[in-house]
Amino acid sequence: MENRRSRRAAAAVALVTALLTLVGALAAPAAAAPPPPYVHGGQTVPTYSYASAVRESVQVDTKLDSDHDGTPDTVSVDIVRPRTATRVPVIMEASPYYSCCGRGNEFQLKKYDRNGTILSMPLAYDNYFVPRGYAFVAVDLVGTSRSTGCGDVGGPAEIGSVEAVVDWLNGRGTARYRDGRTARPGWTTGRVGMIGKSWDGTLANGVAATGVRGLATIVPISGISSWYDYMRLDGVPRATGYPGWLAGAVDGRPAGTCDAVQAGLTSAGDDTTGDYNDFWAARDYVPDAGKVRASVLIAHGLNDQNVFARNFSRWWDALAEHHVPRKLWLHQEGHTDPFDIDRGAWMTMLHRWFDYWLQGIHNGVMGGPKVRVERAPQQWQQQADYPAPGARPVRLSLAAGGGGAGTIGTGGGSGTVALTDNPDLTETQAVGDPNAARSDRATFLSTALSGTTHLSGTPTVTLRFRSDEPDTELTAKLVDYGTAARDDYLANDLSGIEDLDTRSCWGESTADDSACYLDTTEVVHSTDYGVLSRGWTDAAHRTGLTRYTPVAPGRWYSITIRLQPQDQLLAAGHHLGLVVSLSDTENTSPSSTGAKVTVDLAHSTLSLPVAGATHLGTVATAPQLTVTAPATRATRSTPARRLP
């Protein structure tokens, strides 16, 4: 009996001891998980050999049949990843350009070994980030290179093909190696960051707008957020037949495979009216900003004449409305990657950005101002937001002059001006010699600014007009008259940069894949004037973009021209100019009607987005300005279809 009691007591003590041990274990703080082997000092550091990285090529299955051949499309995906048992996140660039046109300032293409496995990737992302514990994944867009299907220019097929790759990386899809073996992404954490310039950055915007899980961040560089805002300018086509031509320019399928699809794209785009229709709505990512789960780092040129700045500003504003974590880099060049403008600062930012959003390293990258902006050549500033906090629309009046330039000022507007459409009018003719009387443009000048004026936001011009034709294009250009050093953003195919003879290296190289790239510099000239912003609209779309409504000849109407957003300083002593004309065949492909238009200036205004003091006053007579056309600056040509 005694032994039985002793055994029961011992058992009770053991049970209490076990329970206390369990409670203690639950109450004690969990031991912090050790950082990955490639994280030291609060950042990822080169740890793995780039030369011995795993290189593989797979075909990802989709649920699409964009070429209508009865077989689901497959997407070709090339991968470079560290040779490690540790799972790593993914930096991904999807592009239509890997075999047709090249990537980056040096137009690099993918290169493969004799077995069809990736040997060399364009750009430095793999060289720089793979040794630091990232995988780099390059996706051939549907219908291009080694992918099947047909591209639909930013539409459901293209976005869906890239979304399928994100799904596969997160275990929600299937893929095969080129020899038919099943490919499983057991090497990745599933966290994906998309990056790319132009069309590639556009794909990042579009995929983020689906809300796909696993896409943690995007870095769109000169990206499109609305294909209508890329190919149309408030009802005015930039070039006719653009969608079908663009799909054909990157087509990697056998001849004839995608002809019907491409013809359908051009037809659906509707050059005849220029309307915003279902075709364009399917390629407008801005309304879906509320679905975005990813953080967003945007980079864009304020003077980008390929993908106009409206594409970043509308996207930026929509993301803000939905509280999406975001930051913004703005520069004064054209269609250019920050890698070729301020390389060291940009790569530092990318490194910190991806470390935070893909690796979970708390490095403070989201602290401080949201915006870094270049307001003049190599003059960078931090700014709390965009537009600059406190920026407000300043309404300025327009008044007619005595046969030459009219005036811009804070007083009342008066008089009328008459314009006759001239399809041969060049921008140099329109904005140069502003005091000369011309029948094909009207110019308005301010007094000399009494202090530096900060423009930050989107200017608009509202005109009360009548036309003797049922339709006409209306063009407005905001000009800074005054000598200054300015970026020549039209130079070298609208990039605004030129190559130097030196190279800098960003990551590890192999015999087949160099990490060293030509250094570049901004093209800068001293000029007597610079065009700050441009805007175009179609008179038959004055009430909205979804319906073509011709004007009644001789009847008065009001229309607002939205210019492209800008962030720039106007120097004291300079004059602000506004130039109004009709068709602009250097920048658009209008149906030039030969219209004669009268503008009622008493009911027309310029709205200028100003942060701080305006430094503009009333003016009775336009100042007489002598300016020299910038002969050394690059000039425009008739707008051709161009790749984004």
Catalytically active residues, by annotation:
198, 304, 335
Tell whether the torsion through CA atoms of 302, 308, 314 and 315 is positive or negative: negative
Q: With contact defined as beta carbons under 8 Å apart, do 540 and 551 qualify?
A: yes
Running DSSP on this structure, what letter comes out for residue 339?
G
* Short-list 392, 607, 249, CA closest to 258: 249
Distances (CA, A) of 285 to 143, 203, 263, 324, 342: 21, 10, 23, 14, 29
To which H or E segment does residue 332 belong? none
CA distance 392 to 376: 21
E-strand stretches of 458-565:
460-467, 473-487, 497-505, 516-522, 524-538, 557-562
Report CA Rg, the chain.
29
* Short-list 482, 478, 481, 428, CA closest to 578: 478
CA distance 229 to 312: 10
- Identify the residue whose tokens are 């700014």: 383
- Please give the structure tokens belonging to residue 220: 């769109």
Q: Cα angle vertex 563, ends 559, 564, to 5°?
A: 150
Q: With contact defined as beta carbons under 8 Å apart, do 62 and 126 qualify?
A: no
- Please give the structure tokens belonging to residue 332: 């004064």
CA distance 182 to 184: 6
Q: With contact defined as beta carbons under 8 Å apart, do 300 and 308 qualify?
A: no
* Short-list 384, 542, 566, CA closest to 470: 542
What φ, ψ does residue 309 adopt, rounded to 5°? -65, -20
Q: With contact defined as beta carbons under 8 Å apart, do 120 and 130 qualify?
A: no
CA distance 176 to 183: 5
CA neighbours closer than 13 Å in the CB half-sphere of residue 34: 4
- Please give the structure tokens belonging to residue 368: 């401080």
DSSP symbols for 401-455: -SSS-EEEESS--B-EEEEE--TT--HHHHHSSTTS--SSEEEEEEEEPSS-EEE
Q: With contact defined as beta carbons under 8 Å apart, do 336 and 302 qualify?
A: no
Q: With contact defined as beta carbons under 8 Å apart, do 442 and 419 qualify?
A: yes
* Short-list 175, 178, 199, CA closest to 98: 199
- Identify the residue whose tokens are 């080694």: 146
Q: With contact defined as beta carbons under 8 Å apart, do 182 and 76 qualify?
A: no
CA distance 407 to 397: 8
Enumerate long-range contacts of 372-375, CB under 8 Å, 24 or more apart. Answer: 372/327, 372/328, 372/329, 372/330, 373/328, 373/329, 373/330, 373/331, 373/567, 374/330, 374/331, 374/332, 374/341, 374/342, 375/332, 375/567, 375/568, 375/569
Q: Which alpha helices (H) appear in 121-198, and where do they start and end?
A: 125-129, 156-169
CA distance 154 to 224: 9
CA distance 158 to 64: 10
